Amino acid sequence: MDSGAYRVKEGDTICVVGGGPGGAACAISLKREAARLGQTVRVVIYEEKRFDEDRRFNQCIGVLSPPIEDILLDKLGLELPARLIVREIEKYRLHSDRLSLDLAGDEDGKTYAVSRTGFDAFLLREARNLGVEVVHNQVVGLEVGPDEVLVYTDGENCRAAAIVGAFGLDEGAGRVFEHATPYRVPDYLNTIITRLYPGEDFLNRMGPVIQAFMLSFGGLEFGAITPKSDHISVNIAGRRVSSEVMLKFLRSAPVQRFLPPKQRAEKPLNYFTGRFPISQAAHLFGDRYVTIGDAAGLIRPFKGKGINSAILTGNFAARCILNAGVSRRAFKEVYMKDCEVFTQDLYYGKAMRLLANFSSRFGFMDRVLKMAGNDPVFMECMFNCVTAHKTYKEIIRETASLSLACKFVLEGFAHFILQRPAGPAPGGE
């Protein structure tokens, strides 16, 4: 597509800021694609953390869901090492204020809980094996010129033909990109995670089930409890989540049932805060720069699979850089075309998020769960929403029907006008 100045030439350097799943996947794809084209490119990843040392807690639950194994194999030529899997997840259970429902549906592939730092360390090692230079420095400045990019770090600096922003929602790196380019960080939700160590017996009794919660108290959009190897991870998300909201969540009746008796009244000591993008970044690409994964806000709206999206967008960016060039036009016509799988779903996802927030905020989620328990089509819809198995566009298309809309309106009438509580959900409580 590009000719001349914006083509990547033999021996050029591509610099990647961030060595999470997006950055590592992009670097691996750059090396593999270059080899396929019979070309040599130098790829440098700047990653400030050292995942191998497992020193810093990663803000992620570490659930890898389908089609992660296909993505790793098809896009990166990698197999997920069995040693990284701490648990195979078999089921999702959704809880509202009063009801609980096992979500039933089919996913093509398995869902795994892994150690997130272990997974990131694995991808970076694979990148290194292909000749990627991984430098543990922090990127502190950037100049994006018409002919090259200058990357400033807290160690040595680097000149590159293009820069890939794979820095997640890191505030400092976001500011560096905003300062040097028209890029603007995506809108996000705040998250808080805590870990509890309930002992082996309790974990075994919990089973391989992710407990997801949509409760009706302020500041909270959703929460979840995920069993890991020797602990459970509890996470909440919302615009204004805080340690206070976390405590309220932990003390709420639906959540208490899943906490070890001794820890039900405790205040956890360790909270970790993070962010979760809910919109696309503005100007997420331009001449000689492109952003991927969380930094680009290119993830499934409302509900995650953020690791899958980061790997996919990293791969799309690498293919564009080597085959079409590093101009704004190349990213617009090639990279963004590949990313349509995310961008086309954005408005549907926003609509679903609004509907879900409205339902939980006003206690209507009990009725939604009851309907899902009674109606297989609606059950499939809830399953796909929570697991993010299908696009929201597909979910809405497959679920929307006149009879379902009528049921929804009738339940809404009973809830908001007659103020009648929902009965139990079949298959739930």
Ligand X SMILES: Cc1cc2nc3c(=O)[nH]c(=O)nc-3n(C[C@H](O)[C@H](O)[C@H](O)COP(=O)(O)OP(=O)(O)OC[C@H]3O[C@@H](n4cnc5c(N)ncnc54)[C@H](O)[C@@H]3O)c2cc1C
Q: Minimum distance between the CB of residue 320 and ligand X, rounded to whole angstroms?
A: 17
Contact pattern for ligand X over residues 327 through 356, marking x by CB under 6 A: ------------------------------
Q: Minimum distance between the CB of residue 190 and ligand X, rounded to whole angstroms?
A: 9
Answer whether 194's CB lies under 8 Å from 226's CB: no
Q: Minimum distance between the CB of residue 318 and ligand X, rounded to whole angstroms?
A: 13
Contact pattern for ligand X over residues 53 through 92, marking x by CB under 6 A: ------xxxxx-----------------------------
Contact flag: residue 284 with ligand X (CB under 6 A): no
Please name the residues in contact with 107: beta carbons below 8 A apart, sequence gap of 6 or more: 65, 66, 387, 389
Per the DSSP assignment, residues forming a β-bridge with 209 are 91
Q: Minimum distance between the CB of residue 93 and ligand X, rounded to whole angstroms?
A: 16
Element (H, E) at 146: none
Contact flag: residue 118 with ligand X (CB under 6 A): no
C-alpha triplet 241, 246, 247: angle, nearest 5° = 140
Contact flag: residue 212 with ligand X (CB under 6 A): no
Contact flag: residue 17 with ligand X (CB under 6 A): yes
CA 292/CA 229 separation, integer angstroms: 30
Answer whether 370's CB lies under 8 Å from 423's CB: yes
Contact flag: residue 23 with ligand X (CB under 6 A): yes
Element (H, E) at 274: strand 272-277
Q: Which of 143, 141, 133, 154 is nearest to 13 (CA)?
A: 133
Contact flag: residue 249 with ligand X (CB under 6 A): no
Q: Minimum distance between the CB of residue 288 and ligand X, rounded to whole angstroms?
A: 18
Burial (0-12, 13-18, 19+ Cβ within 10 Å), 103: buried
Binding segment for ligand X (CB under 6 A), chosen from 41-49, 143-151, 206-214, 332-340, is: 41-49
Answer whether 360's CB lies under 8 Å from 69's CB: no
Q: What is the DSSP letter of 4?
A: G
Closer residue to ligand X, CB minimum distance, 173 or 250? 173
Closer residue to ligand X, CB minimum distance, 98 or 228? 228
Answer whether 25's CB lies under 8 Å from 76's CB: yes
Contact flag: residue 48 with ligand X (CB under 6 A): yes
> Mapping DSSP to helix (H, G, I), strand (E, B) and coil, where does residue 61 land?
coil
Closer residue to ligand X, CB minimum distance, 276 or 348? 276
Near ligand X by CB under 6 A: residue from 118, 274, 349, 373: 274
Contact flag: residue 20 with ligand X (CB under 6 A): yes
Contact flag: residue 193 with ligand X (CB under 6 A): yes
Q: Minimum distance between the CB of residue 91 and ligand X, rounded to whole angstroms?
A: 15
Burial (0-12, 13-18, 19+ Cβ within 10 Å), 184: middle
- Name the closest residue to ligand X (Cβ): 306
CA 124/CA 24 separation, integer angstroms: 6
Contact flag: residue 388 with ligand X (CB under 6 A): no
Closer residue to ligand X, CB minimum distance, 240 or 262? 240
The contact set with ligand X (CB under 6 A) reads 17-23, 46-49, 59-63, 138-139, 166-168, 170, 172-173, 191, 193, 235, 274-276, 293-295, 299, 304-308, 310
